């Protein structure tokens, strides 16, 4: 599920059907739930698709719509990458 840049969302191509997506970050099965959340107070996100679809999963941890990306990484990336000191002096 990891991208080369962990602050960007990971695209996941899913076939039609029911999928249990990890929301706890503990799964050893990538984006899919493997039951590792037991005792964490979290539960998998059950996604039912009538047709194949690409979904974008959060990699930054800032989403308000877990496990899906909501664009929060754009705000986190700016905070993590402040302007270099030399740009202040032109």
Predicted TM-score (pTM) of this structure: 0.67
Question: For residue 36, is it left (φ>0), alpha (ψ between -120 and 50) or beta?
Answer: alpha
What are the tens digits of pLDDT across the range 39-82? 989 999 999 999 999 999 888 888 888 888 998 888 875 555 55
How much is the pLDDT for 3?
40
Query: Measured between alpha carbons, how far is residue 30 from residues 14, 19, 34, 49 in Å?
Result: 13, 13, 9, 19
Question: For residue 39, is it left (φ>0), alpha (ψ between -120 and 50) or beta?
Answer: left
């Amino acid at each position: 599920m990891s991208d080369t840049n962990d602050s960007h969302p990971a695209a996941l191509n899913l076939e039609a059907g029911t999928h249990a997506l990890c929301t706890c970050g503990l799964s050893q099965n990538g984006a899919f739930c493997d039951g590792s959340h037991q005792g964490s107070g979290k539960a998998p996100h059950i996604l039912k698709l009538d047709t194949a679809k690409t979904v974008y999963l959060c990699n930054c941890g800032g989403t308000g719509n877990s496990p899906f990306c909501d664009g929060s990484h754009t705000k986190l990336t700016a905070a993590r990458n402040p302007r270099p000191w030399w740009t202040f002096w032109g």
